[in-house]
Amino acid sequence: MTTDTTITRRTLLGTTAAAAVAAPNLARAQNPAEVEVALLVPISGMYSRFGEDMRQGGELGIEHINKAGGVKALGGAKLKLVVLDCGDSTEKAKNAAQRMVAQEKGIVAASGAYLSSFTLAVTEVTERAQIPVLTLSYSDLITERGFRYVFQTSATAAAQAEQALPEILKLAETASGKRPQTVAIVTDNTGASIASVKPMREGLLQRLGLKLVVDETFTPPIADATPLVQKVRAARPDLFFFLPTVISDAKLVLEKMNEFGLGQGRVPTISFGIAIAMPDMLNTVSADLLQGVLSCVGNWGVKGEEQLIADLKTRYQQPWANQNTVSTYGDMWIIKDALEKAGKADRLAVAEALRTMDAGPSKFFPGGVIKFDEKGRRVGAGLTVIQWQGGVPYTVFPTELATAKPFWGKGV
């Protein structure tokens, strides 16, 4: 049996034509014109204000990336933001993630989802779909589950408490000449808040020589802050740790504290998270009632980010750059860098790029580097401490990033 291997002119022309068609198709697959990045945030419901800030940070980040030439490793491909509404419950957040997986097949990475409880629900879905997710949420549980597609850019709640309390005690002792002895905790029952007070309750306060005299947990939103604040008034603690995630709860408690003669620095108030430092607070609470209130947050506008802060003011009329805008902005740049490292618009390749990334000192996050450990936590992640001064929450710690000097009590 013989085989005819003669190549005719017609065969050669046909093969050449097929190759000519295939080449640009392959190039387009490797270098898409657009790469989709998801943002899962609360756009409706009682947390919508926070989700809107995250949307603005994501939009501005992608705008700046695209203006700078897009993803160079993909031939200058532009990023496109796909926003999905998590609503105001864990069930709605989970549904949003399921919609994304079912309908948005081009997603290579995501950012979200504000509340830790939302992020826990969302990442149960995205982990199965092998979609890498960057999150600013604090709960330690987010990266304690052995997941391989979750990357936490903020310091965990426990790490923030461990870092923040010694600094707050140092500030109090330096300013007042005496070390605080007693502490009250009033917290809502959301994931990040519970995670923040957990180390305090389980040994941190005792280790620092502090006695817990009030320990109350509530479900947001509250209708009346009187019972909670009455317990604080009866104990008269040296420090009041107040952890709300809903602005209306922050308003009710601060107003009641003032009514009972505890506000305006008489009992120094320290929060965790951004609810107490949102611009909306000034719509219902006077700047006097907020004066001196401190909050420990995963991120904030700091020295060196003047251009970003100015852009947020110009584009969105944001009076200052909060954690949600800055962190989500930074997430877009991390995803862009992961795409550069991956060299293709593929979620598995992006996830692997994030796991092995070592991009040096962090630019849009306090402390540490842009590198993730085996749990998915950003290596060396720090925090910022902010303080209301004259109607503006300024960064007062870390000192090298501070935009104002801290004071203790009511101040001037």
pLDDT digits (tens, 9 = 90+) for 83-99: 999 999 999 999 999 99
Which among 404, 167, 198 has a CA at the least distance from the CA of 300? 404
Q: Report the C-alpha gap between 47 and 142 in whole angstroms.
A: 20
pLDDT digits (tens, 9 = 90+) for 250-276: 999 999 999 999 987 889 999 998 889
Query: pTM for the full model?
Result: 0.87
304 Ramachandran zone, left/alpha/beta (phi>0; psi -120 to 50) = left
Tally of CB atoms within 10 A around 240:
26
Which among 238, 187, 194 has a CA at the least distance from the CA of 212? 238
pLDDT digits (tens, 9 = 90+) for 325-364: 999 999 999 999 999 999 999 999 999 999 999 999 999 9
Q: Report the C-alpha gap between 131 and 400 in whole angstroms.
A: 36
Q: What's the average model confidence in pLDDT over 159-178?
A: 90
Q: Report the C-alpha gap between 168 and 408 in whole angstroms.
A: 10
Q: What is the mean pLDDT of the chain?
A: 91
pLDDT given for residue 265 in this prediction:
81
Provide φ and ψ at 397, rounded to 5°.
Answer: -155, 140
Q: Report the C-alpha gap between 126 and 128 in whole angstroms.
A: 5
CB-neighbour burial class of residue 232 (10 A; exposed 0-12, middle 13-18, buried 19+): buried
pLDDT digits (tens, 9 = 90+) for 275-300: 899 998 998 889 999 999 999 999 99
> What one-letter code names the amino acid at 248?
S
Tally of CB atoms within 10 A around 111:
29
What residues contact 32, with CB distance under 8 A and at least 6 apart? 74, 77, 345
Degrees to nearest 5, angle at CA 9 with 3 and 10: 90
What residues contact 55, with CB distance under 8 A and at least 6 apart? 39, 41, 43, 81, 83, 328
My answer on whether omega of the bond before 279 falls inside 30° of 0, hence cis, is no
Question: What residue has token string 């303080």?
Answer: 387
Tell me the percentage of the chain whose pLDDT exceeds 90. Answer: 83
pLDDT given for residue 30 in this prediction:
60
Pairing of strands 392-397, 182-188: unpaired
pLDDT digits (tens, 9 = 90+) for 47-66: 999 999 999 999 999 999 99
Which among 355, 412, 393 has a CA at the least distance from the CA of 273? 393
Which among 386, 411, 412, 410 has a CA at the least distance from the CA of 261? 410
223 pLDDT higher than 50: yes
What residues contact 272, with CB distance under 8 A and at least 6 apart? 138, 157, 160, 161, 164, 192, 193, 196, 241, 243, 295, 296, 297
Give the confidence band of 315 by pLDDT, cuts at 50, 70, 90.
very high
Provide φ and ψ at 177, rounded to 5°.
Answer: 85, 0
For the chain, report the end-to-end CA distance as a whole number of angstroms: 102
109 pLDDT higher than 70: yes
Q: Report the C-alpha gap between 152 and 181 in whole angstroms.
A: 33
| Structure letter (DSSP) for residue 85 | E
pLDDT given for residue 176 in this prediction:
82
| Structure letter (DSSP) for residue 244 | -
